[in-house]
């Protein structure tokens, strides 16, 4: 009789499976003890989260293969109102370039957007790879998850209740654009912030800060806007694919809106 064993990595490619199962480091000190991402995933699985995506950064050498930065998203087994699902976002590496980081987030099915809570909402958990008590820190994070989720739900509710004028939305689009392109100055090109506010779906129509936030996030992450060059030509923006940049932008956008909805107009 053949016993079927459940494979949590079923459906993922070799690159994604490799970075999850790796337990070796690369050119790091003797104090560096790899915290394997799969071990962290399994702890959250016991709490009712399911692995949903794995993004691994490209590496240039064979020696660094399966050891570089990667981002894992896990979804909860319950839903929030409005087609939202709580998520846990795990960032890690085995080459000394990144500590283990765990954040909370939300997945919105209507647009396939993965949103990450900013530092102002719920601080992330960072664990160094020489930390011998990393299991306890993750367990504490899980034990306090309900509180973190409640803060996240309250934030969504506030965003949904807060109406945002077109002038405010335009101002937020300008700020979001600067966050998105923080690594590059748009000196030889320009972007029309109004393009970032264009609504593509019926579900996104409205003036709430929540809908404005989602529209901006989707346009800027997926490169759904034009760049107007000084020479008169028009180019398309690039999709944001870097693991570090995806986290940096999403956290920055969340923090920016968290500050804005507190302003009484």
Alpha-carbon torsion (102, 104, 107, 108), positive or negative? negative
The low-confidence residues of the chain, meaning pLDDT below 50, are 1-5, 264-265
Where do runs of H (alpha helix) occur along the chain? Answer: 14-21, 37-45, 134-143, 145-161, 166-180, 209-222, 243-260
Q: Given this model, what pLDDT does residue 4 score?
A: 41
Q: Could you tell me how many helices (H) and strands (E) the chain has, helices first?
A: 7, 9
Every domain of the chain and the residues it spans: 14-157, 162-260
Q: Given this model, what pLDDT does residue 6 score?
A: 61
Q: Given this model, what pLDDT does residue 183 score?
A: 62
The answer to whether the beta carbons of residues 72 and 90 sit under 8 Å apart is yes
Q: Given this model, what pLDDT does residue 64 score?
A: 59
Q: Given this model, what pLDDT does residue 91 score?
A: 93
pTM exceeds 0.95? no
């Amino acid at each position: 009789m053949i016993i079927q064993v459940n494979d949590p990595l079923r459906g993922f490619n070799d690159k994604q499976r490799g970075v999850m199962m790796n337990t070796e480091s690369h050119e790091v000190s003797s104090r560096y003890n790899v915290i394997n991402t799969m071990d962290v995933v399994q702890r959250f699985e016991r709490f009712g989260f399911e692995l949903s995506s794995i993004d691994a950064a490209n590496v240039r050498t064979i020696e660094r293969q399966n050891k570089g930065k990667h981002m894992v998203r896990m979804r909860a087994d319950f839903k929030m109102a409005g087609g939202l699902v709580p998520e846990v976002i795990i960032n890690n590496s085995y080459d000394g370039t990144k500590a283990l980081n765990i954040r909370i987030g939300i997945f919105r099915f209507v647009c396939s957007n993965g949103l990450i809570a900013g530092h102002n909402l719920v601080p992330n958990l960072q664990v160094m790879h020489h930390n011998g008590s990393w299991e306890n820190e993750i367990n504490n994070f899980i034990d306090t998850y309900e509180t973190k989720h409640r803060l996240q739900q309250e934030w969504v509710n506030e965003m949904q209740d807060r109406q945002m004028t077109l002038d405010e939305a335009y101002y937020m689009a300008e700020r979001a654009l600067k966050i998105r392109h923080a690594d590059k100055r748009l000196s030889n090109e320009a972007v029309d912030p109004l393009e970032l506010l264009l609504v593509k779906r019926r579900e996104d129509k409205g003036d709430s800060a929540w809908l404005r936030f989602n529209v901006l996030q989707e346009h800027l992450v997926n490169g759904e806007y034009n760049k107007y060059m000084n020479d008169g030509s028009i180019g398309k923006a690039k999709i944001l694919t870097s693991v570090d940049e995806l986290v940096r932008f999403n956290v920055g956008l969340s923090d920016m809106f968290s500050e804005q909805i507190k302003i009484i107009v």
